[in-house]
Structure 1
Amino acid sequence: MFKLGWFVNGYSPKTWTGPWAGNHASEWTGPNFWIDVARGLERGGFDMFFMEDSAMVEDTYGGTAETTLKYAEMAPKNDPMPLVPLLSTFTRHIGIVSTISTIQYHPYMAARLGATLDHLTEGRVGLNVVTSVSHRVAQNYGYERHFDHAERYQMAEEWMDAVNALWGSWEEGALVHDLEEPRFADHKKVHPVDFVGKYFRTRGPLNTVPGPQGRPVIAQAGGSAPGRDLAARNADVMLGLVKSPEDMVEFRADMDRRLREYGRDPEDLHIFFMAHAFIGEDDAAGKERYQRSVDHRTHPDEIEKRLWTMSYTSGGEIDYAKYDRHGPIPTELGNGETTTHKLMLAAAAEGKTLYDLVTGPMNYGMDFVGSAKTIAAQMDEVMKSTERPDGFLIQGIDDELSRRTLTEITDGLCAELQRQRLIRTGYSGRTFRENLSNWD
């Protein structure tokens, strides 16, 4: 058996054009669409709903925000934190992971918010800890520019140390609830943390009680060496970006080594590998859907959006609008997602043009194509070949998410996976963390 998560690029417009969009262009801001998504995923046996976040209106590409706002590329975007308790009210089991940035949330605010959400969700919240990518995000929070890649991971390690200290500031047994004396809590078991670091300081103790999980499930998505170390020290869940079963094995082995170096059991980290399901009524329909996605790469709108994405993932340092699309791929390395840009440099070393790159496969993760039965068999074969089943983190094709695509996955693919006993058919754990460790 293996696990499933769903990845969505933020509390933002998803499929807002086309025949299956409905009134999503305005509906996305309210609760109903996201409630339908969360309930559908739980019905399908998903372990978690994973939501990215960012806080900027990007204007690197072409030196303007026109492309950003023309296509709704990562803006507008609402704060996902208020969605967490709302979605937990309409579901009973699925874990709900929201992104939290180390430059946007002071450790005390983050620890207090995380504990509060753990209570409100009855133990089903997860926090995806990120360092943020763009200079524009940093500038929105009072910095002149973003920290260099290596330094922001040093900052993130310190941030995690601080929030963990705050979550641990209440000892086990601190809550007394003695109605006769009366005594709510034992003050001798609640301690200041007096945390002083290079980037953060906080006295503590936390002024709220530990939640059902003790601390929220911690997720991490960075694939660089510092990102992997951050996950190895702190994470319960990790996003893996690989292209093949062999890469999965290598990724898992590298993380196992890092976990042991930090004195952790490798079984404590659950890696969800990014995947895309090109599903159809039969194999021919699935292949046709895949081919439509391939053909769409050469559409002018898609090329512009892909160049925009490259400008954003450079950390706001490289404007790909200024380069000849049929010329060589620029080899400068930005300060953003270094793993992404190293892949681009590898393409440059192969002699590819910028046009070759943006019209080629840029989806992260593995592609599965065919009917529900065929894709289920493909997923099973991949997991068996790894000898160490973790899970897949499914993302909509070309970031598509509509009620139609949701139903295709949950009532098509997931139903088949459940029939073959490849994913859970129920939830025996009380909390998100417990369900991650249970194979129902």
Structure 2
Amino acid sequence: MPKPFHLAWFMNFAVDDWNTTYSAGGKPWDGSFYVDMALSMERAGFDFIMIEDTLMMSEAYGESSEAYLKYALMGPKGDPAPLAALIGQKTSKIGVVATMSTLGYPPFMLARLCATLDHICKGRFGWNIVTSGEDLAAQNFGMDHLPPREVRYEMADEYVQLCLKLWSSWEPGAVVRDQATNTYADYTKVKPINHEGKYFKVRGPLNTTPMPQGRPAFVQAGGSPRGRQFAAETADSIIVAATGIPAMKEFRDDIRRRAEGAGRNPDDVKVFFIVQPILAETMDEAKDRHDRYFNSDTYIEMTLASISSVTDIDFSKFDLDAELPRLTTNGEQGSLDAFAQWGKGKTLRQLVKDRATRGLDGVIGTPDSVAERLGDVMEQVGGDGFLISSPFQKVNRQYINQICEGLVPALQRRGLTRTTYTKSTLRETMREF
């Protein structure tokens, strides 16, 4: 039997694929569209649905918000936490991961929110840990500029350790619910943490009961060396763009070495590679669908605006048909490196085309051909799974059905993905195989 791999989905609480034939019309704001999406994914056996987020309206591309609002790239967006609660209440097996930035929440508030959401989701909640990478986000929280990237990761290290202390501030057995003595909780087992670190000072204890998982599942995206180290030391799942088998294998092997070096079992750290399958009933139809969308001038501008927003680099200033100069950023350096593919001599236009399939060939075709390709890639890389997405996270019901009712059954027939859930919490589901 082949080794099974995991599936998750990367989306955001934003506008659907609103200006296409199969759309919800750009009004998904009550969350019901995404609840239906999660239910389809649950029937297909996905590990989790992950809700991306940002904390600003970008002006990185062309020094204007025009492209971001015209194409609904960076806004409008809803807060992921209420949507996570709604999905958690309407589902029973699939995990729900919300993006919450260490920039935007005091540690006590985030720890309390995570505990509340894990209760609502009955042990199926995950936190996508981000530090935010945009100065405009910092300016929404009283700062002129973000701290340097290395400092942000140092702050995140302390932030996560602080949250772990808060989640442990209620000892096992603290909730007694003893009717005879009219005692709900034993105060001797709920204690302050008195954390005084380099960046944070918190008394504690948390004023919510211990969550079903003990702590949420941790998801993280770390592409730079420092980001990889933080992810390897902290995360249950790491998400990264799929950029060809050699790079994927190098990334996973490096994460496993770093995790083992940090005293962790590397099998407990699952790497999910982002892919954007393009599916149709025939190969020619799938290629035609791909070419119509990804060769358009609109797609090029949307891609450059999108990569500008996460790197804080204005790509409107570069020649589309010239190679990019070597660049660094205080934004998401890992995203920049994955996009730029330094040393390969590709023009900016070619890099945009590569990003159309997230750098992994063979994911355009019929459900069976794409399933075969994904299985082959996992075998060569070693694991652990794929994070399904769509261009700019815009989805419609047709695409959801193509994945959940077309691709996933093709994977299941090959023994490559689960056909039923056997675990009750998200962390257990991710460690099932």
- Rounded to whole Å, the distance in 2 between the matches of 1:324 and 1:415 is 43
Residue aligning to 2:270: 270
Of residues 312, 326, 335, the one that matches 1:331 is: 326
Residue aligning to 1:2: 5
Return closer, same or farther for 1:249/1:61 CA change in 2, 3 Å cut-off. closer
Question: Could you say what secondary structure the match of 1:63 adopts?
Answer: coil
What is the aligned residue count?
Answer: 429
Question: Could you say what secondary structure the match of 2:277 adopts?
Answer: strand
Quick check: 28-37 or 243-252, which moved more? Answer: 243-252
- Rounded to whole Å, the distance in 2 between the matches of 1:344 and 1:4 is 23
Residue aligning to 2:255: 255
Question: Could you say what secondary structure the match of 1:6 adopts?
Answer: strand
1:81-230, aligned counterparts within 5 Å? 81-230=81-230
Residue aligning to 1:410: 404
Contact 1:192-1:205 within 8 A present in 2 as well: yes
**1:13 to 2:7 alignment:** no
The aligned amino acid for 2:302 is K
Give, in angstroms, the shift of residue 421 of structure 1.
Answer: 2.3
The aligned amino acid for 1:194 is N
Residue aligning to 2:235: 235
Of residues 361, 365, 371, the one that matches 2:366 is: 371
Q: Deviations over 1:233-253 (max 9, x none)?
A: 221111132323333332222
Q: Deviations over 1:298-329 (max 9, x none)?
A: x33222222212321223xx323334444552
Return closer, same or farther for 1:135/1:416 CA change in 2, 3 Å cut-off. same
Residue aligning to 1:74: 74
- Rounded to whole Å, the distance in 1 between the matches of 2:366 and 2:177 is 56
- Rounded to whole Å, the distance in 2 between the matches of 1:192 and 1:414 is 47
The aligned amino acid for 1:426 is T
- Rounded to whole Å, the distance in 1 between the matches of 2:15 and 2:203 is 40
Give, in angstroms, the shift of residue 191 of structure 1.
Answer: 1.6
Contact 2:277-2:357 within 8 A present in 1 as well: no
Question: Could you say what secondary structure the match of 1:207 adopts?
Answer: coil
Give, in angstroms, the shift of residue 285 of structure 1.
Answer: 2.5
Question: Could you say what secondary structure the match of 2:13 adopts?
Answer: coil
- Rounded to whole Å, the distance in 2 between the matches of 1:275 and 1:304 is 20
Return closer, same or farther for 1:429/1:262 CA change in 2, 3 Å cut-off. same
Return closer, same or farther for 1:47/1:183 CA change in 2, 3 Å cut-off. same
Q: Deviations over 1:389-416 (max 9, x none)?
A: 3111111145341001000110111122
Residue aligning to 1:383: 378
Give, in angstroms, the shift of residue 352 of structure 1.
Answer: 4.3
Quick check: 99-108 or 83-92, which moved more? Answer: 83-92
Return closer, same or farther for 1:257/1:309 CA change in 2, 3 Å cut-off. same
Q: Unmatched 5+ residue regions in structure 2? A: none
- Rounded to whole Å, the distance in 1 between the matches of 2:50 and 2:84 is 11
- Rounded to whole Å, the distance in 2 between the matches of 1:359 and 1:377 is 23
Question: Could you say what secondary structure the match of 1:206 adopts?
Answer: coil
- Rounded to whole Å, the distance in 1 between the matches of 2:339 and 2:380 is 28
Return closer, same or farther for 1:69/1:145 CA change in 2, 3 Å cut-off. same
- Rounded to whole Å, the distance in 2 between the matches of 1:188 and 1:43 is 44
The aligned amino acid for 2:242 is V
Return closer, same or farther for 1:224/1:362 CA change in 2, 3 Å cut-off. farther
Return closer, same or farther for 1:345/1:435 CA change in 2, 3 Å cut-off. closer
Return closer, same or farther for 1:223/1:351 CA change in 2, 3 Å cut-off. closer
- Rounded to whole Å, the distance in 1 between the matches of 2:277 and 2:357 is 12
TM-score by length of 2: 0.94
Give, in angstroms, the shift of residue 291 of structure 1.
Answer: 3.3
Return closer, same or farther for 1:362/1:407 CA change in 2, 3 Å cut-off. closer
Quick check: 70-79 or 353-362, which moved more? Answer: 353-362
Contact 2:275-2:387 within 8 A present in 1 as well: yes
Question: Could you say what secondary structure the match of 1:366 adopts?
Answer: coil
**1:306 to 2:303 alignment:** yes
Contact 2:135-2:145 within 8 A present in 1 as well: yes
Give, in angstroms, the shift of residue 370 of structure 1.
Answer: 1.8
Residue aligning to 1:429: 423
Return closer, same or farther for 1:343/1:113 CA change in 2, 3 Å cut-off. closer
Return closer, same or farther for 1:382/1:270 CA change in 2, 3 Å cut-off. same
Return closer, same or farther for 1:150/1:286 CA change in 2, 3 Å cut-off. same
- Rounded to whole Å, the distance in 2 between the matches of 1:228 and 1:127 is 17
Question: Could you say what secondary structure the match of 1:93 adopts?
Answer: coil
**Identity between Structure 1 and Structure 2 (%):** 39
Give, in angstroms, the shift of residue 346 of structure 1.
Answer: 4.4
Q: Unmatched 5+ residue regions in structure 1? A: none
Contact 2:13-2:78 within 8 A present in 1 as well: yes
1:289-368, aligned counterparts within 5 Å? 289-293=289-293, 296-297=294-295, 299-315=296-312, 318-343=313-338, 346-347=341-342, 349-361=343-355, 363-364=357-358, 366-367=360-361, 368=363
Quick check: 245-254 or 270-279, which moved more? Answer: 245-254
Contact 1:277-1:397 within 8 A present in 2 as well: no
Question: Could you say what secondary structure the match of 2:364 adopts?
Answer: strand
Contact 2:218-2:234 within 8 A present in 1 as well: yes
Give, in angstroms, the shift of residue 68 of structure 1.
Answer: 1.2
- Rounded to whole Å, the distance in 1 between the matches of 2:346 and 2:427 is 44
Give, in angstroms, the shift of residue 420 of structure 1.
Answer: 2.5
Return closer, same or farther for 1:127/1:184 CA change in 2, 3 Å cut-off. same
Return closer, same or farther for 1:324/1:385 CA change in 2, 3 Å cut-off. closer
- Rounded to whole Å, the distance in 1 between the matches of 2:354 and 2:140 is 34
- Rounded to whole Å, the distance in 1 between the matches of 2:344 and 2:243 is 18
Quick check: 233-242 or 65-74, which moved more? Answer: 233-242
- Rounded to whole Å, the distance in 1 between the matches of 2:166 and 2:396 is 39
